Amino acid sequence: MRIAITGTTGYIGARLQHYMQRTHEITSITRRGDKGLPSFDLCQPSTLQQTLQHLDVDIIIHTAAIARRQQCTANPEAAYVANVEATKVIAEWARQRGIRLIFLSSLGIHEDNIYADTKRLAEQAIEDSGAMNTTIRLAYTFGFSPSFSNPKPMQRLEHEAHFPGSISFDDSWHFQPTSLEHVCHVIQATVRNSKPPQEVNVVTIEATTMFEIASACLPHQIQACKDLKMKYVPGCLPVNIGELPWPDYILSLPLYGF
Ligand SMILES: NC(=O)c1ccc[n+]([C@@H]2O[C@H](COP(=O)([O-])OP(=O)(O)OC[C@H]3O[C@@H](n4cnc5c(N)ncnc54)[C@H](OP(=O)(O)O)[C@@H]3O)[C@@H](O)[C@H]2O)c1
């Protein structure tokens, strides 16, 4: 298949590109432009049109977004343009050209914050466009990616692996994590399925805490705390915690509809 992926400089897009290029012809779409493609700025609709008209693909996977809650709250107008208006342009283009659209959304779409609003409105815009689409909804996602340019929960594990005892992990908030590896498997299954479901939630069945995840992944004693605010740490060099045992709940994948 010929597949375009937006946001390949990001955490999920970079891992997905790496995974999908083994079996598909991938065109990577970035903000700065790549491999002869014009730049692609979600906040500048004219650059979107220009890049899209250069594409000759069967499927587009739209991962690019202003994906940080704090950034959306700080600049709601930009968040709306980038996450909703740009998605509308892509969906309309996909419908006109008969191209399948796979869209990355969030399981938190009904929460009360600007990021959630924009993801919910983007889902609605895709549905209204009539494009053939699958929406993949994720929760907090863990796993290795070539990109760590933006702060992610995974970085806290990496930082703690480098500097044991430097971080306390919250043991009060229970959530259902998503595995980045599973996101790639689900998207691959979606691409291969001629009649994929319209919505797929990629999330573990079991709820857990940051403390439980850190305790299961790292070899040393982890400090617990009651801190509902996620504190991020700046990017650091990946360490080889991939060989450490990931807990079963991170790897138990419900593949609804496949
Ligand atoms: N990670 C999670 O836990 C999680 C959970 C639920 C849903 N999601 C969804 O999954 C998708 C990917 O998330 P992620 O964690 O990979 O996010 P990320 O690491 O922040 O990456 C975002 C990507 O979007 C691009 N982007 C941002 N603003 C742009 C703009 N104005 N024009 C063009 N490109 C722009 C970034 O490009 P630059 O590198 O140039 O900034 C980057 O490639 C998002 O749609 C997000 O809502 C993620």
| Alpha carbons 86 and 39: distance in angstroms, whole number | 14
User: Which of 138, 157, 186 for a ligand 1 pocket mutation test, highest count of atoms within 8 Å of Cβ?
Assistant: 138
| Alpha carbons 110 and 106: distance in angstroms, whole number | 9
3-state secondary structure 99-117: CEEEEEEECCCCCCCHHHH
> Which pLDDT tens digit goes with each residue over 157-185?
888 888 999 999 999 888 888 888 889 98
pTM: 0.90
Task: Give whichever of 5-14, 182-191, 218-227 has the largest mean pLDDT.
Answer: 5-14
The two most distant CA atoms of the chain are separated, in Å, by 55
Superfamily of domain 2-251: NAD(P)-binding Rossmann-like Domain (3.40.50.720)
3-class SS of residue 61: strand
**How many residues does this entry show for the chain?**
258
Q: Measured in angstroms, how far is the CA atom of residue 248 from the centroid of ligand 1?
A: 27
SS3 content of the chain, % helix, strand, coil (to 5): 40, 15, 45
| Alpha carbons 196 and 38: distance in angstroms, whole number | 31
> Which pLDDT tens digit goes with each residue over 38-77?
889 999 988 899 999 999 999 999 999 999 999 999 999 9
Asked if 181 and 253 count as a contact pair (C-beta separation under 8 A), the reply is: no
Atom 46, ligand 1: which residue's CA is nearest?
67
